[in-house]
Structure 1
């Protein structure tokens, strides 16, 4: 896929509550139920639209900060392949467990907290292929970090190391890179209208 940051300019909309603090995780070939099972999540509910995840997410965290609500929905890549999209409001489970979740498959996960600090992970079959903080994309680690660098640049990341680098592209470029590595295009319509199977998992 040839996604760029421009394709995801909509994620910078100040009224979009999702991207204030989020974690999105794409897992190839697993169903929502299988993803939640790998996280040993307790069944919670079925919700439609990411906005319906916000209130219960904070309720779950309010009861126990070690718990996180995760909503998972099936999605397709550009070739019709099956993926599962996990959405967390103010969570980081997918990011912190990407390597374990990737056993036998591929996982792409990116998260951002309220301070704009985040992580982007690419993992395959239990191996960390690439990981970096989108605020500092020049600092990459992992077995495929050099190959991923080309996709990062094409997605729109400013890979410079100086103080004059463009940070405004950080958020949409992370979404674009996730598409380039999975073939799954996320849209506001998809996130707003999808039906999410929800579970409560323990943070590591």
Structure 2
């Protein structure tokens, strides 16, 4: 199931340079196309307009104190990548269930309040989820399914917090999906939609 590719967490140090806001979620989706992914996130793909991450950041800042949830989408290999600057919808069980039906989702989330989450859902069911900042906290139908990959990228449940949890999380995503995310992938304009907020339970 796991690709085994990737050289480690150091490959993703560039992540901190992107305008992803105080929180972000990245969801890798396989089994459905970009338009259907957006529909499953609750957005109308016909409303998508091209935006850069910088433009998304400015739009979200201009909307304050109101919350503006935007998601950008792009195809990377066999996977659709959904980028949520200042977002968290792909951490929610409801969203993971709908989006992964007939396919697979691996999502990575973190914010500045010492909260992170990696979620792996297949065909409507959450297999594994854990906090990359506190990797001994795991849940789902198969909470230990990603343990070998976790250890390979430095997310050791018995070893404390990884030196760079975000980079380790993306290294894990690479090993699960076979997709090496690059800074160039997230540069330029990406089709972007407004999401309807779903609150955490």
Q: Tell me which interval the TM-score lies in, with the shorter structure as reference length.
A: 0.7 to 0.9
Once the two structures are superposed, residues 76-120 of structure 1 have per-residue CA deviations (whole angstroms, 9 ceiling, x without a partner) of 1xxxxx211011111001111222210100001111112231211
- Mapped contact 1:72–1:84 kept (Cα < 8 A): yes
Gaps of 5+ in 1: 77-81
Indicate how the Cα distance of structure 1 residues 62 and 200 shifts in structure 2: closer, same or farther if over 3 A, else same.
farther
- Alignment RMSD: 2.0
User: How far, CA to CA, are the matches of 2:83 and 2:71 in structure 1?
Assistant: 6
The one of 125, 128, 140 equivalent to 2:138 is: 140
Give the structure-1-normalised TM-score: 0.84
Change (3 A) 1:61 1:152: farther
User: How has the CA–CA distance of structure 1 residues 156 and 167 changed in structure 2, closer, same or farther, with 3 Å as cutoff?
Assistant: closer
The Cα of 1:144 is off from its aligned counterpart by 2.7
Per the normalisation by structure 2, the TM-score is: 0.85
Does structure 2 retain, via aligned residues, the 8 Å contact 1:40–1:201?
A: yes
Aligned residues of 2:19 and 2:53 also touching (Cα < 8 A): no
Asked if structure 1 preserves the Cα contact closer than 8 Å seen for 2:21 and 2:57, the reply is no
Q: Number of aligned pairs?
A: 190
Give the counterpart of 1:6 among 2, 10, 22: 10
User: Given the alignment, which residue of 121, 124, 127 partners 1:126?
Assistant: 124
Work out whether 1:170 is the aligned partner of 2:172.
no
Match among 161, 169, 183 for residue 188 of structure 1: 183
Say whether residues 1:93 and 2:96 are aligned partners.
no
CA-to-aligned-CA distance 1:156-202 (integer Å, 9 cap, x gap):
213226xxx24423111101111111111101111113x42111111
| Aligned-residue offset at 1:44 | 4.3
Q: What residue ranges of structure 2 are gaps of 5+ in the alignment?
A: none
Partner of 2:108: 110
